[in-house]
Amino acid sequence: MMNYSADDICKAARAIQPYLTELLNAPNAQRLERQLEGLLSKVSLEQGSHMKLSHLLSEHQSTRDWIRLYLEESYPAEDILKALRIYYPLPGVERSVESPRYVCPVEKCNQDWYRQSREAEIPVCPVHGLKLMIDS
């Protein structure tokens, strides 16, 4: 974790507490919550407690990301979960990929096939020997 001031670390540790159950699985969230509570109650008493807090908060990628957004990019605590869960599509994919379904023209035949590229030749039904048709 970057070098933050002791006050920043303590402030971030208090701010992240309500979000631990959404950032981590239950056992890790509970363990981290207990350890944070213990350290935060000692912070004013012990020199170097912020280093222990910093180490604790950097154990998991999700908490490191949360702290970075909170301290470096000044995100409001309540908006960070939304920012962490943004889906970024693969580069170059501008729209959804369609895979049309083709079915046998014989009624009640359950043979189907999905075309995955335009170059793929449309097959025939293995049961009836008829070329599959696009399902409308």
Lookup: tokens for 56: 């604790």
pLDDT at 57: 92
- Same domain membership, residue 70 and residue 103: no
Whether 25 maps to a domain, the answer reads yes
CA dist., res. 16 & res. 23, Å (int): 9
pLDDT at 134: 87
- Same domain membership, residue 77 and residue 31: yes
DSSP 34-70: HHHHHHHHHTTTSTTHHHHHHHHHTSSHHHHHHHHHH
77-127 pLDDT, tens digit per residue, is 998 988 887 655 566 655 555 678 889 999 899 898 888 777 888 999 999
Whether 59 maps to a domain, the answer reads yes
Query: Global pTM?
Result: 0.59
pLDDT at 81: 87
Helix (H) or strand (E) holding 133: strand 133-134
Number of domain units in the chain:
2
pLDDT at 44: 57
- Same domain membership, residue 13 and residue 39: yes
Sequence-separated (6 or more) residues with CB below 8 Å from residue 74: none
Instruction: Write out the residue range of the structural domain in which residue 78 sits.
Output: 6-84
- Same domain membership, residue 19 and residue 77: yes
Q: 99, 114 in Cβ contact below 8 A?
A: yes
Residue whose C-alpha is closest to residue 113's, from 90, 131, 94: 131
Strand partners, 124: 131
pLDDT at 96: 53
- Residue length, the chain? 136
- Same domain membership, residue 68 and residue 11: yes
pLDDT at 119: 81
- Same domain membership, residue 76 and residue 12: yes
12-42 pLDDT, tens digit per residue, is 999 999 999 989 988 999 999 999 988 888 6
